[in-house]
Amino acid sequence: MEQGQWRQARRLVREARHAIALTGAGISAESGVPTFRDAGGLWKSYRPEELATPEALARDPRTVLEWYAWRRSALADCRPNEGHRALARFFLGRGESGLVTQNVDGLHTRAALEEAGKGPAEAALPLELHGAVGRDRCQSCAARWPAEPLGETLPQCSACGGLRRPDVVLFGEALDADLLDRARGLAEQADLCLVVGTSAVVYPAAALPLATREAGGHIVEVNVRRTALTEAATLALRGEAGTILPALLDRQSGSPR
């Protein structure tokens, strides 16, 4: 990466009054979590219509719940990487929430709790636009619990008897309206939107960086390749999130190795 681009990126970070970050599956790739659309990504093995839709859940709940149980088990050994940690330190340091993720792997939350140590982790906790695979939600009354291992019978809500399902947004389901409103408000107030590890093809998440730009802010993209958003970015930093983010965000760091 040429030095002028790097200096400009560090200046945008330093001077940002309100910064937000939108992350996608790419930030968790270095933690061993498969992305969705890269070669070998999750969707390469399954068609979304087979598994991640309300129709599939109604038609064949056990298969859908077993797929998510598999995804949870695949995540059990994954840990936050240096990209998650750098973002957690950045928002903890600013003391202002701004982390929005499309990921359901819970790694940003773990990074926030691990980096916060004794201080309040709130500023680094993400808005999880697509939910979290580590939580269950009642299909009927929306009660929520930490996810439990799948038993012989389909899990039922203890409050109303509805189906307990992963607390994730399936294709075709609406996102949580309050969460989306909060994310849109943050994007419109921000003068810097970091876009990390997303192909930026899924809406409404992909519209958030454009809201920052329309309000006069800058988009800085961190990705290993071009995306649908690259054209709209003030700067596109090519490389892995785990290498670029610590160098970009940590106060006393230099340029990436």
- Catalytic residues, which ones? 130
Rg (CA), the chain: 18
**Residue 139 CB-density burial (10 A; 0-12 exposed, 13-18 middle, 19+ buried):** middle
| Contact code string over 144-183 relative to ligand APR, x by CB under 6 A | ----------------------------------------
Stretch binding ligand APR (CB under 6 A), from 7-15, 26-34, 172-180, 209-217:
26-34
Reading the block at residue 49, the tokens are 């219509």
Q: Which is nearer to ligand APR, 36 or 90 (CB)?
A: 36
Please give the Cα distance from 130 to 135 (Å, whole number). Answer: 12
Q: Which is nearer to ligand APR, 115 or 240 (CB)?
A: 240
**Does the protein bind ligand APR through residue 128 (CB under 6 A)?**
no
**Does the protein bind ligand APR through residue 47 (CB under 6 A)?**
no
Contact residue for ligand APR among 12, 19, 22, 30 (CB under 6 A): 30
Helix (DSSP H) and strand (DSSP E) numbers for the chain: 11, 9
Q: State the number of binding residues for ligand APR (CB under 6 A).
A: 23
Please give the Cα distance from 31 to 242 (Å, whole number). Answer: 9
Please give the Cα distance from 197 to 190 (Å, whole number). Answer: 19
Contact residue for ligand APR among 127, 227, 233, 237 (CB under 6 A): 227
Q: How many C-beta atoms lie closer than 10 Å to residue 80's C-beta?
A: 25
Reading the block at residue 11, the tokens are 């200046």
Q: Comparing C-alpha atoms, which of 87, 81, 17 is closest to residue 248?
A: 87
Contact residue for ligand APR among 31, 109, 199, 212 (CB under 6 A): 199
Q: Which of residues 55-114 bind ligand APR (CB under 6 A)?
A: 102
Reading the block at residue 142, the tokens are 């929306």
Q: Which is nearer to ligand APR, 98 or 197 (CB)?
A: 197
To the nearest whole angstrom, how small is the minimum distance from the Cβ of residue 216 to ligand APR?
Answer: 25
**Does the protein bind ligand APR through residue 250 (CB under 6 A)?**
no
Phi (first) and psi of residue 80, to 5 degrees: -55, 145
Q: Which is nearer to ligand APR, 37 or 144 (CB)?
A: 37
Residue 67 · residue 46 · CB < 8 Å: yes
Stretch binding ligand APR (CB under 6 A), from 37-45, 148-156, 158-166, 208-216:
37-45
**Does the protein bind ligand APR through residue 25 (CB under 6 A)?**
yes
Residue whose entry in the numeric block shows the structure tokens 């160098």: 247
- Residues binding ligand APR (CB under 6 A): 24-26, 29-30, 35-38, 41, 102, 130, 197-199, 202, 222-225, 227, 240-241
